[in-house]
Structure 1
Amino acid sequence: MDVDEIEEEEFGFSRNYFLAKELGSSSRKKSARKLSEIDLVDEEELREVAASIEPKHEKEVNELISSYKSLYSKWLFVLRSGFALLMYGFGSKKALIEDFASKSLTEYSVVVVNGYLQSINLKQVVITLAELLWDQVKLRQKTTSGSLCKSQQPFNTKSMSDLLTFLDSPDLEVEECFVCILVHNIDGPGLRDSDSQQCLASIAACSHVRMVASIDHVNAPLLWDKKMVHTQFDWYWCHVPTFAPYKVESMFFPFILAHGGSAQSVKTASIVLQSLTPNAQNVFKVLAEHQMAHPDEEGMPINNLYSTCRERFLVSSQVTLNSHLTEFKDHELIKTKRNSDGQDCLCIPLTNEALQKLIADIV
C-alpha cells in the first residue's frame, strides 16, 4: 500500500466519522419524560429489598477489617501522644471504631457522637465529657492520695467556654487523665455547619480530650482551615477502607427513589422526635391528634395550639412554643399554611395512617 492509498483511507475514515456524527445529532430527539412521572416505590418496601441484598466478598471484607486490629496498639499510642485519629476510606467505619474503643480504650471514659443524625446537641456532649473527666479525676485522686478533691459546680449550669476551659485545665494534676470522644461521620449533616466544626475543633484541642473520628464525603477536608487541621484537631490520618455497607448510617436518610421522598418519612421523624424533650414530643402529639381528628381542615391555627398546650402545662409562654416549632420546622416535621381566614396554620406532611404509627413510636 503506497502513500496515496493510505491518505485516501484516512480521509475516508474521517469523512465517515463526521458524517455519522452529523446524522446522529440531527435524528436525536429530546425525551419528553419527566422525573415526576417515574413510578416510585414505597420507602419501606425499598428498604426491605435493599436489606435483602446479599453482601459480596464477605470473607475478604472480614479479613481486611481483622487486619486493622493489629494497628490498635499504634492508634492508642497516637492518642496518648496527643493526636486525634481520623479514619477515612470507602465503607462504614462505625463497627471498626467501636471495636477499637471497646478493646483499647477500656481505661478511659468514652462518649459516642453519631454525626449521621440530623441534629446533635454539642453542648450536652461537652457537659458529658466534663462530667466523665471529673469522675475520672476524683477516682484517681482517691486511689493515690486517699482523699477526694474539692467539690465542683454542676456542669450543666456552666457556659460552653467554662466547660472547654475545664477540659483544657492544666490544674488537674493527674497523669494521662483524659476522656475520649468518638465521632462517627464528623462530616455528617448534623455537623457540617461551620459553628459545629469549630466547636468540635475546640473540643479536640483540649488537653484532656482525645478524639477519634471518621469521614466519608470526598470533600470533607474542605470543612476545616489550616489552623483547625494542624493546631486544633491535629489529625493523624488513617486510611482504613472497610468496604462494609452503611447499614446504620443509611437508616437516617430517605431514599431518593422512594415514594414521598419530599415528605418526612415516619422512621426519620420518629428518630428526630425521640431525640427531643418530652414536652416537645407532647406538643407535636397535640398537633398530630388535631390533624387526625380534623382531616378536612387545612391545619391547626397557632393560637389554638398555644391554648391547648398551655392548658396541658406543656408550654409556659408563646416563646417556648415558638422554640419547639422552630425545631420542628428545621427538621421538616411540620409546615405552615395560611387558611381562608388568613390565619397561619400548622400541618404535618404525613398521612393519618403514618401519623398513627409515628405517635405509637414516641409514646
Structure 2
Amino acid sequence: MEDIDNIEEDDFGFSRNYFLAKELGGSSKRSARKLSDINIVDEQELRETAFSIETKHEKEISELLNEYKTMYPKWIFELRCGFGLLMYGFGSKKGLIEDFASSSLTEYSVVVINGYLPSVNLKQVLLAIAELLSEMLKSRRKSSGSSSKGQETFPSRSIDDILSFLHGSQSEDKDCFICLVVHNIDGPALRDPESQQTLAHLASFSHIRIIASIDHVNAPLLWDKKMVHKQFNWLWHHVPTFAPYKVEGVFFPLVLAQGSTAQTAKTAAIVLQSLTPNAQNVFKILADYQLAHPDEDGMPTEDLYSASRERFFVSSQVTLNSHLTEFKDHELVKTKRNSDGQECLNIPLSPDALRQLLLDLSQ
C-alpha cells in the first residue's frame, strides 16, 4: 500500500513540476530575430547551387521508378474504364507522368497543362481539346464508313459553347478518348473554384480522361464529393518519386535570395495570401494610399481605421490593431511619426513592387 502511495505521489510531483516549468518558462517570450537579419544571396547563385546538389540514393530511386513502370498497363486499363488518375506523394511526379504518357499513351491524343505556371489559359486548352476531338471523330467515322453526322463544329469560341460541343460529341467507340495531363492540378493558377469546376466538368465527358498530380497538403479541399466521385472519378495512386521540384520550383521565390522587384512582390503576396480576406483588404487600402501620396511619410493610423471601417473590413480599433500586428510581424508594414506627431503606417516596398503586389493579390 505504501508503494502505491509513493508512486501516486511521484506522479503528482512530476505533473506539478511539469506545469510549473511551463509556467515559468516564459511562453510569452518571442524571438527578436527577423528575416531581414539573414544575409541573403543573389537568386541566380542560390538556384545554381541548389541545382548542383547531388542526388542521393540513386539506385533505390531508380528501382522505385522501374516498379512504377510495371503499373503502366494497369493505369491504361483504369483510364479505359473511365477513371481519372490522381498521383500524389513526395517528389516531383512530372517526369513519371510524362514517361507514362510518352511510352504508354501513344495510341491516344494527349494535351498537357502545366498547373505550376503562374498563369494558365484554360480557354485555349479547351479549344485545343475540342479541335482534337472534332478531327478524331471525323477520321473515325470516315474509316468506319459511317454516314451519321454529329456535332463537329461549334459556332463560337466561348467556354460554355466549347463545353457544350465536348458534351454533345458522342461515339459508339468507348476507347476513343483524349488524355488530359495536368501537372499540379492544385497549382496556384488552378486553385480558384471556377478553374476546378471547369476541369471537373471536362473530366465528366465520355471522351476525356485526366491524369493529374497534386503536391499541396490541402489539395483535396479543392473538390466536393460530387466532383471527386462523379466528375473526376479519381483513382488515387501513391507514387513518391523523391525527385527534386526543379521545374515546378522555378516560379516560386526563394526565401533566402535577393530577388527582383517582381520577386519581392511575389514573396509579400505569398505572406498576405495566408492572412484573412479582411486583412488583405486593409493592406490594399494602405497600399493605394501610399501610391497616391508618394511624398508623405505614410498613412495615419486613424485614417486607415476610418477607411477600413467605412468599408466594413474592421469593426473596431482592436480588430485593426490585430491586422497591423500581423503586418508588422511579417515586416510588411513599418510605423513612424510625421511632423505633426501622428503615427503613420508605411509599406517598405518601392512603388513598382507595390503595384506588382496589388496586381498579384487581385488575380
Q: CA deviation at 1:232?
A: 0.7
| Structure 2: stretches of 5+ with no match in the other structure | 267-289, 296-349, 355-363
Matches within 5 A, 1:211-230: 211-230=210-229
Aligned-pair CA distance for 1:201: 0.3
Task: Please give the per-residue CA displacement for 1:87-143, whole angstroms capped at 9, x wherever unaligned.
Answer: 111111111111111111111110000010111111110000011111212222232
Within a 5 Å distance, the mapping from 1:105-254 to structure 2 comes to: 105-145=105-145, 152-153=152-153, 157-254=156-253
> How many percent of aligned residue pairs carry the same amino acid?
55
**C-alpha separation in 2, matches of 1:108 and 1:178:** 7
Is residue 90–residue 241 contact of structure 1 (8 Å, CA) maintained in 2? Answer: yes
SS of 2:127's equivalent in the other structure is helix
Residue 123 to residue 16, structure 1, CA distance change in 2 (3 Å) = closer
Listed one character per residue, the Cα deviations across residues 192-214 of structure 1 (whole Å, up to 9, x for unaligned) are 01111001101101111111001
**Pairing 1:79-98 to 2, within 5 Å after superposition:** 79-98=79-98
Match of residue 71 from structure 2: 71
Q: Judge conservation of contact 1:204–1:210 (CA < 8 Å) in 2.
A: yes
- Structure-2-length-normalised TM-score: 0.66
Pairwise CA RMSD of aligned residues?
3.7
Cα distance in 2 for partners of 1:231, 1:253 equals 33
Cα offset, 1:6, TM superposition:
5.8
Instruction: Note closer, same or farther for the CA distance 1:251–1:11 as it changes in structure 2 (3 Å cut).
Output: closer
Which digits, 9 at most, give the CA deviation of each residue in 1:166-220, with x for residues without a partner?
A: 2222543544221110000000101001111001101101111111001111111
Shift in CA distance, 98/10, structure 1 to aligned 2, threshold 3 Å: same
* Other-structure match for 2:262: 264
Which whole-Å CA distance do the structure 1 matches of 2:19 and 2:170 have between them? 81
CA distance in 2, matches of 1:153, 1:4: 85
Q: Partner letter of residue 219 of structure 2?
A: A
Q: Determine if contact 2:150/2:169 at 8 Å carries over to the other structure.
A: no
TM-score, normalised via structure 1 length = 0.66
CA distance 1:71–1:21, change in 2 (3 Å): same
Kindly report which structure 2 residues correspond to 1:286-305, keeping only aligned pairs within 5 A, or say none. none
Matches within 5 A, 1:274-353: 337-338=291-292, 348-349=352-353
C-alpha separation in 1, matches of 2:27 and 2:294 = 52
Secondary structure of 2:70's aligned partner: helix
Find the aligned partners of 1:176 and 1:28 in 2 and give their Cα distance. Answer: 64
Structure 1 unaligned blocks of 5 or more: 269-335, 351-363
